[in-house]
Amino acid sequence: MNTPIRTRLSKTPRAVSRLTALALALAPVLAGAGTTVYTLDFDFDLGVLSGVNHTAPNNHQLQLSAIGTTFPVLWIANAGEDTMSKIDTTTGRELARYRTFFGSGAFGNHGAFSGPAPSRSAVDIDGNAYIANRHFDGRRPMVMKVLADGFIDRNGNSTEQTSTDVDISGTISAAETLDVVESNANGFFDCSAASCESRDERVAWTSVLPAGEASGLGRALCIGTDGNLWVGVYGTSRYYKMRASDGVLLSGPHAIGVTPYGCLIDGAGMLWSASLSTVLGRLDTSSPGSTTTFTDGSSTNYGIALGNGKVYLASLSGFGFRQFDPGSSAFSTPGGSKGFSSTGISVDGSGNIWTGPYTTGGVSKYNAAGTLLCSGANQFVGSIETRGVIVDADNNIWQINRHTNSVAKYRGSDCAPQGTYPVGFDPYTYSDATGFAARNITTPTGTWTVVNDSGASGQAWSKVSWTDSVPAGAAVLVSARADNVQANLSSLPFVPVSNGANPGLTGRFIQVQVRLNAAPAGTSPVLFDLSLQTPDTTCDVDRDGDIDQLDLALISRARNQPATGPDDPRDADGDRRITPNDVKVCIPKCTRPNCATQ
């Protein structure tokens, strides 16, 4: 459960020798026909680094950063109108809005404590978002998944149908959302990969808890170390494990002895559950029957955060926040009472604790000892009813304001107010709504993502390979996707790639993502290089995928001309001139007997 200390590993002697040989080369390095190698700092900077670095003294390699990050996206449950807002945390603009239950046309506002009333969101390490409807209407709690990338082409038109800011106003209108229409009169919002009552093709699935949970209220949602979900039901004090890929229930119910009111899972797989009471619950996700409760005689908790090897609970009893030490099983208030009740709490990448007053707004930053580092003034007049304090990708802070239908941003370095931004009715989210805890506590991870342009439409990619160093329990995971149009890449799923294997992808552009996952002790794996290879196209002058009489004729016609460069397919012997010898070299490479054209 401790905040990971991500150490860096030095290059192996073999890697140092290889790097020395390449040090004067331009990058990415053209190591031979159809092969591109990324290995120098310059190469890695051609991609996007998220939670990884090539900082001295370990240059020319990628390792996890000491201070983590997450996706620059905030997912807000709008409880009063049954939607979820997707916010760009760099600009504050609303990028999309998704309906979480039946509805079309103008947004209503039934209040945060009636109807479906979504309130808990979670984000996995790939950026996919999950939202839980509490269902004050007597229905069973329901979870919905929204894809971060790609879409499910259910209508077969090869075009993504999804919510987007068409008028570029920074706010999503009802006309810019897609309907959820009941098609079978069963009273449930049904959605799977094959068929979905949502018209939004980024909505991947919905999953409803068993009949015994009707009216139970889904008030906890968190991501496990294996990437699957845990859903807590307030009324029955039970948790369920749900598969993230399709929403199938994997296990449960698991009694925990507290009323789930928010949860997070640490790196050891321990689920910690707030309760809206003085009790904190713990469930071992590897052995769900193993649960423990801990009673704090001083404070009612509301909201939960992990960091510094501790569990932090926002306090409704005027303490600001409370700390629980799993080692001693003791509750305390570092630095003494803060003198206000709070309903939101987070721990940033440096281990600082963030919270703020429930009614008057504004945020405060404390170090692990409980010393106040700074405070950000409320950006509103009157009561705002805070329903969340959340860390973003830049370690800035977002406060969720239910009474003003908005979110407020504060600079993480000094608490300075950065502005307020509208969302839907009754925003109500104090869970891991950016995936910061999932990426830095539950599964410490970082990514490097790069796009390579082959210059040739329909390019086949024959191999992806890399050199790494992976401590026990850590991982380097590589995936890729390809298309002839670069703008289409974000609509495609990443495909896992094995080291040295053919990825089976075709397209002018290939996008590769390398994910580094830390070992349980926090030790980082290292990526030294990554190579992309296309098939050898020497002699295939017309680039039709075979070598035949047509190619030999094109080589003969160019006799005695200089080659256009090192990749000229006519220069088979590599002497930088087109000569009869090039024809001789190509004849054995013909793809059919006698170099026939068909």
What are the tens digits of pLDDT across the range 330-339?
A: 999 999 999 9
Tell me what pLDDT residue 23 has. Answer: 34
- pLDDT at position 555 over 70: yes
Tell me what pLDDT residue 24 has. Answer: 31
Tell me what pLDDT residue 28 has. Answer: 58
Mean pLDDT of 184-201: 97
Model confidence band, residue 73 (pLDDT cutoffs 50, 70, 90): very high
What are the tens digits of pLDDT across the range 136-168?
A: 999 999 999 999 999 999 999 999 999 999 999
What are the tens digits of pLDDT across the range 576-598?
A: 999 999 999 999 989 899 999 98
Backbone CA torsion sign across 251, 257, 259, 264: negative
Tell me what pLDDT residue 156 has. Answer: 94
Mean pLDDT of 529-552: 89
For residue 357, the 8-state DSSP code is E
What are the tens digits of pLDDT across the range 12-67?
A: 433 433 333 333 334 454 333 478 999 999 999 999 999 999 998 999 999 999 99
Q: Name 505's bridge partners.
A: 461
- pLDDT at position 383 over 90: no
228 to 16, 128, 241, 268: CA distances (angstroms): 39, 12, 7, 15
Element (H, E) at 254: strand 249-255
Mean pLDDT of 307-316: 98
Three-class DSSP labels, 169-225? CCCCCHHHCCCECCCCCCCCCCECCCCECECCCCEEEEEECCHHHCCCCEEEEEECC
Q: Which residue has the tokens 């068993």?
A: 210
Query: How many CB atoms are closer than 10 A to CB 390?
Result: 28
Q: Name 498's bridge partners.
A: none
* 303: Cα within 13 Å, side-chain hemisphere: 34
Specify the 3-state DSSP secondary structure of 585.
helix
Tell me what pLDDT residue 102 has. Answer: 98
31 to 268, 454, 535, 540: CA distances (angstroms): 42, 14, 14, 20
Residues ≥6 apart with Cβ < 8 Å to 127 = 71, 73, 148, 149, 435
What are the tens digits of pLDDT across the range 437-451?
A: 999 999 999 999 999
Model confidence band, residue 536 (pLDDT cutoffs 50, 70, 90): confident
Q: Whole-number mean pLDDT of the chain?
A: 93
pTM: 0.88
Share of the chain above pLDDT 90, in %: 87
Domains of the chain (ranges plus CATH)?
13-59+442-533 (2.60.120), 296-431 (2.120.10.30), 549-595 (no CATH)
DSSP string, 74-116: EEEEETTTTEEEEEETTT--EEEEEESSSB-SS-----TTSSS
CA of residue 377 relative to chain centroid, distance: 31
Tell me what pLDDT residue 131 has. Answer: 98
Model confidence band, residue 11 (pLDDT cutoffs 50, 70, 90): very low
* Token pair of 552 as six digits: 């030999």
In this structure, which amino acid lies at residue 396?
Answer: N
